[in-house]
């Protein structure tokens, strides 16, 4: 392969969680491609992750507190 052919190669990678395609361009190629990032999409993903984490924490706290309450009831009998 010639050097020009290597400079123009691009790779497409699919992320496992979404259908977004990330384009990786050789930094030594002559053509510059500017990819724009939508901040609203990133913020919505962060909010979704925070909601999931809150739910998990509430479930965990509920289970732990119920175990403590049931242990206290059994111990008081």
Which stretches of the chain score pLDDT less than 50?
A: 6-7
Contact 12, 21 (CB under 8 A): yes
- H-type alpha helices, 1-38: 3-7
């Amino acid at each position: 392969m010639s050097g020009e052919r290597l400079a123009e190669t691009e790779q497409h990678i699919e992320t496992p969680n979404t259908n977004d395609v990330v384009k990786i361009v050789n930094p030594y190629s002559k053509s510059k491609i500017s990819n724009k990032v939508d901040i609203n999409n990133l913020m919505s993903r962060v909010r979704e992750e925070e909601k999931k984490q809150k739910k998990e924490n509430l479930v965990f706290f509920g289970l732990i507190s119920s175990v403590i309450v049931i242990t206290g009831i059994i111990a008081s009998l």
